[in-house]
Structure 1
Amino acid sequence: MVIALAGLVAVMIGVGISRPMQGFADQSRRAGLVDKAVQALDRMARDVRLAVPNSLRSDNGTLELLRAPVGGRYRANLVDGQYQDPPACPAESCRIPFAGPLPLNELSLPASLWMVIYNVGGSSAGNSVWLQQDENDTSSVITPKTTIDLNGDNLELALSGFRFRYASPQHRFYLADKVVGYRCQNGRLLRAEFDSLELSYSYTNAAPIVDRVDCVASSFTYDPGDNTRNGLATLRLTLSEAGETISLLRQVHIDNAP
């Protein structure tokens, strides 16, 4: 009788303790998944906010953008005694004055950059950072990647035979250093940086940002907006582990006024 009662008490205690312990373990697992997803989405949002206007693109679980950590306002440059707006670079060491100062307190200019003025994101060559002009057309919204140095209140570009296609009504320019891409693949969110502008990229050597990702349930979409509202990037990330699933949504408003 004593043994039977002791066994019954042990079973009751085990059942009473196991459920709270299992609940605590499940809650800890969910909290870990949420923390991973939040960190990944925060990083994506930071990159999206640094995108050149109208350079964001998304397709089938891939999000890519041209990152511009530095920007400012330019002034018309002087070529053969005449001021050019949009700026023109007919000779070597093109000089474009800017209304400074550039925000370089914590940033230094990389060795090679693109300069972008009034990227309208059009569908024809030269009207988008992704669609380069052909060899017979030397005008575009983006320069070839080149060395850009600071000389007082001037940007000096090691560039010749080039002219920006459009003048910016607000005289804005952007200095872009990398293409940043995210892709959900094989249960992982990958991040990569690229040094050239291509229509598509390989993510073979991309760094994993977070694992245990449900790539079917996750999505990265982009609405470029119009003349009445900003663009909107919608980032949905779903993570699963041991039967626990969490899904987080982050929306980032994008000022696409070039």
Structure 2
Amino acid sequence: MGDLYPDSAPGCDSGFVWRYARGFTLIELVIVIALSGAVLALVTSIMTRPLEHYVDTSRRAELVDVAESALSMMARDVRNALPNSLRVTGSRSLEMVNVVSGARYRADPDGSGGGDILDFSVSDNSFDILGNLTVPTGSRLVIYNLGAKNSAGDPLPGANVYGGPSLGPLPVAGSHVISPAGTSISGGTSVTMNPAFQFSFSSPQRRVYAIDYPISYLCEGGEINRYWGYALQASQPVNGNAAPLSSANMGLLTDHVSSCSFVYDAGVSNEGRGLLTLSLSLSLEGETISLLHQIHVDNSP
């Protein structure tokens, strides 16, 4: 459609001619808008999926990294635990005793008949170390912890680091596998103890360990927390809000925990190898990852 415009060109019969105005009609404008919207929707759809995939992949990688770090830290503590000190209650509570250092004690005289041996028949206040034993202040000594339990499943007195002193005869004369709390101990190439102490059993491998405190992992309330720095308990502590864990040192290992499980098989012998299975699932914004980690535990004391 055109409009009339005056025309003063010579030879024209009329002062007006038809000339077409430049611009868009409403229909053309509506078509352009519709096509632009369709193209924009297509581009948005194409770009959204890769971005969502990137975000999901990043979230999944973050969860895997957090879970692997948590399981690795637990594995390090387990591998550094005192033999036969691992215990699990209810598949959500794991406890062990932390080893500071270890060495071998002298059980036989040297070639010239000298050397300070560790005597298991009486209370002994000193013995030589084959190598060097570091004993930090407040540490206790453990020799041949069997982790033995009575018929009720409680730690056997004198034969289990978690149990009390011996209340009856043992296969070897002695009072316990662990030196009493408060004993003054100096380490190095020779160990001295004040007061003197009689250990329950001699170790076939002549091993002596210096330990400091138990370590517990509790899975509760969507978190796994690590506790340390509390005294040995006859019964495994399983409540972070009750003593002794409520007053112990505590650190968050990981959150976003949707499920977890600790399963420990000590094996057929207290002197063999156990197997600890750790299962952990973390969830975040609809994404869930699950990891399984198994640790062989050397229980040869």
TM range (shorter): 0.7 to 0.9
Q: CA deviation at 1:221?
A: 1.3
The answer to whether structure 1 residue 111 and structure 2 residue 137 are counterparts is: yes
Q: CA deviation at 1:20?
A: 1.0
> What is the aligned partner in structure 2 of residue 185 from structure 1?
220
Aligned partner of residue 97 in structure 2, secondary structure = strand
Q: Which moved more, 1:40-49 or 1:201-210?
A: 201-210
Q: CA deviation at 1:229?
A: 5.3
Max Rg structure? 2
Q: CA deviation at 1:77?
A: 8.9
Distance (whole Å) between structure 1 residues aligned to residue 148 and residue 267 of structure 2: 14
Alpha-carbon deviations, 1:209-231, whole Å to 9, x = none? 111011xx311111112349511
Equivalent residue in structure 1 for 2:251, among 181, 191, 207:
207
Pairwise CA RMSD of aligned residues? 2.3
Runs of at least 4 residues of structure 1 off by over 2 A? 82-90, 134-138, 200-206, 226-229
Distance (whole Å) between structure 2 residues aligned to residue 88 and residue 244 of structure 1: 62
Distance (whole Å) between structure 2 residues aligned to residue 133 and residue 101 of structure 1: 28
Relative to structure 1, the CA distance from residue 88 to residue 241 in structure 2 (aligned partners, 3 Å threshold; closer, same or farther) is farther
> What is the aligned partner in structure 1 of residue 192 from structure 2?
156
> What is the aligned partner in structure 2 of residue 69 from structure 1?
100
Q: CA deviation at 1:135?
A: 6.9
Letter in 2 for 1:25: V
Contact 1:181 1:193 in 2 (8 A): yes
Q: CA deviation at 1:72?
A: 0.7
Alignment of 1:119-130 (within 5 A): 119-123=145-149, 124-130=156-162
Letter in 2 for 1:28: S
Contact 1:72 1:173 in 2 (8 A): yes
Q: CA deviation at 1:194?
A: 2.8
> What is the aligned partner in structure 1 of residue 65 from structure 2?
35
Contact 1:115 1:174 in 2 (8 A): yes
TM-score in terms of structure 1 length: 0.86
Contact 2:120 2:199 in 1 (8 A): yes
Aligned partner of residue 142 in structure 1, secondary structure = coil
The answer to whether structure 1 residue 13 and structure 2 residue 50 are counterparts is: no
Contact 1:67 1:178 in 2 (8 A): yes
Q: CA deviation at 1:87?
A: 6.7
Asked which structure has the greater RCO (Cα within 8 Å, sep 6+), the reply is 1
Alpha-carbon deviations, 1:152-211, whole Å to 9, x = none? 521112233x31111111111111011011001111110010331112335235221111
Letter in 2 for 1:119: N
Alpha-carbon deviations, 1:90-117, whole Å to 9, x = none? 5xxx112211133x5xxxx321112111
Contact 2:118 2:127 in 1 (8 A): no
Contact 1:77 1:88 in 2 (8 A): no
Equivalent residue in structure 1 for 2:285, among 236, 239, 242:
242
Gaps of 5+ in 1: none
Letter in 2 for 1:147: S
Distance (whole Å) between structure 2 residues aligned to residue 196 and residue 29 of structure 1: 39
Distance (whole Å) between structure 1 residues aligned to residue 274 and residue 206 of structure 2: 21
Distance (whole Å) between structure 2 residues aligned to residue 43 and residue 192 of structure 1: 13
Distance (whole Å) between structure 2 residues aligned to residue 14 and residue 49 of structure 1: 52
Aligned partner of residue 164 in structure 1, secondary structure = coil
Q: CA deviation at 1:132?
A: 1.5
Relative to structure 1, the CA distance from residue 175 to residue 33 in structure 2 (aligned partners, 3 Å threshold; closer, same or farther) is same
TM-score in terms of structure 2 length: 0.75
Distance (whole Å) between structure 2 residues aligned to residue 83 and residue 38 of structure 1: 45
> What is the aligned partner in structure 2 of residue 231 from structure 1?
274
The answer to whether structure 1 residue 99 and structure 2 residue 130 are counterparts is: yes
> What is the aligned partner in structure 1 of residue 206 from structure 2?
171
Contact 1:125 1:133 in 2 (8 A): yes
Gaps of 5+ in 2: 1-30, 110-115, 150-155
Letter in 2 for 1:171: R
